[in-house]
Amino acid sequence: MNKVVLGVDTSTQSCTVVARSVEDGSILQISKAAHPVTHPPVSEQHPNDWWMAFKKCLKEINLTNVCGISVAGQGHGLVAIDDKEQIIKPAKLWNDTTSDKQSERIIKDLGPKYWADKIGTLPLASFTITKLLWLQDNEPENYKRLKKVILPHDYFNYKFTGVASTDRSEASGTGFMDMKTNTFDRSILKKIGLEDVDKFEFSKILLPDASAGFLTDKIRNELEIPNAVIVGTGANDNPGSALAYGAINEGDLVISFGTSGTAFAPFSNSVHDESGTIYGMAHTVSGFIPLVCTLNSAKVTDLFASLLNLSLNEFGDLALTGSNSANRPILVPWIDGERTPNRPNSRASFHQIDNKFSRQDLARAAFEGVIFGIVSALQRFEEYKIPIKRLIVTGGGSNSPAYLQFLADVMEMPVHVADVKDAAAVGIAIQAAALVKNEPVRDLVQQWAPEIVLFANPRKGQNTKEVLNRFNEVINA
């Protein structure tokens, strides 16, 4: 029997299921189904919709030889379940910013140093802890019903095995996991004024290479899977993607240009950043994977390309002919507010526009504005001595030569790409395969690592340091 494992990515936009051969890691099938569209600042989805999308994906997958499964999921959210095992309300997602006031309050009350020491960063509105406080403040009757507090990917482990479980990467996004002990710390929840904390049940935090159990007979029958299926711990979608690219050792920096922008780098030490710029996430393998995230990425260039009635590649070609002057226009790209830095109520703005302003300058400013937003945050990596030796670009923006070239210019280092699509699902399938093969995840990640190809080298004379400095002056004014 050619054994097969499934990697599942339950993201904000959709569910993706990838079937991979246990023998050699080859991708056999891919299936996708959409999730309901959300419109921040209120961003909620019912977990039943995730489950139905997952089942829809399975209808297109040959399940005959499936023997392992693992799930990567959107992080931070809140799935609230009562003592009768019923979902209390639609899950609040990571990009729901209605708990912004709660975030501001608890950061001010306890101070940035307390939060950085405890959880590695500041509890912004994306974090589960702020959503719990929002629930208590705004829906007290629902809060009183609360029994189980779990995250989106934990919900799948709970459905699969009957036991709520998670991994270090996902747990570190709650805002109440102690980064030094890998445990949930109820004292943090009590300290911010949450009531009846002792009655809460949290997901069990599983360490690397552990199993969450097996699919229950009930679920196997519901999904029409004939064999016993072992379940991996799963992970947050960013560390899940890191597995697909082989990014598990110090020296790699992965930047993704998707709806949001992310950048992460494996690191042996935990990071505790009082500014909140770096999210000191735990890796789903051993160690950590410090991450920065911006809200405004490829959707910014999509917007301006649409306004000029151009495709993204045409818009990129236009940008590459824009001025390289040190005084060229700058775009602060916060079309939806921003989380890094934390400016939820700010909006995008152009700077240094004069009567020579052209379509080419607009296009270049759009691409560079997105990149500057990420690179500005990445400057904090230097303070923690996080090594960067190789730069890999992913996400939809990695298909744009303009993003890749401008990034090489700004970072002043070569940019690499890999032919990996659906990275979170592809990567997390490795976790399931490692369990089936009884091998450490780290070993299998290295065996199945894709070819990393050089795409762009930095150009001279682009004045990117000067323009980045001007960008930083504007956003910090």
Which active-site residues does the annotation give?
Answer: 237
For residue 348 the two structure tokens come to: 């995008």
Contact 89, 142 (CB under 8 A): yes
Q: Are strands 251-257 and 146-150 parallel, antiparallel or unpaired?
A: unpaired
Q: Which helix (H) or strand (E) holds 114?
A: helix 112-119
Q: Which amino acid is at 418?
A: A
State the Cα–Cα distance between residues 81 and 148, nearest whole angstrom: 5
What is the greatest pairwise CA distance in the chain?
70
The tokens describing 407, both together, are 């990034």
In 265-380, where do the E strands start and end?
Answer: 291-294, 330-332, 349-351
- Across 97-240, the runs of DSSP E, i.e. the strands, are 146-150, 165-167, 177-178, 183-184, 201-202, 204-206, 211-214, 230-232, 235-236
Phi-psi region of 463 (alpha: psi -120 to 50; beta: other; left: phi over 0): left
Could you tell me which residues come within 8 angstroms of residue 464 by beta carbon, excluding any fewer than 6 positions away?
368, 409, 410, 412
Cβ proximity of 473 and 426 under 8 Å: no
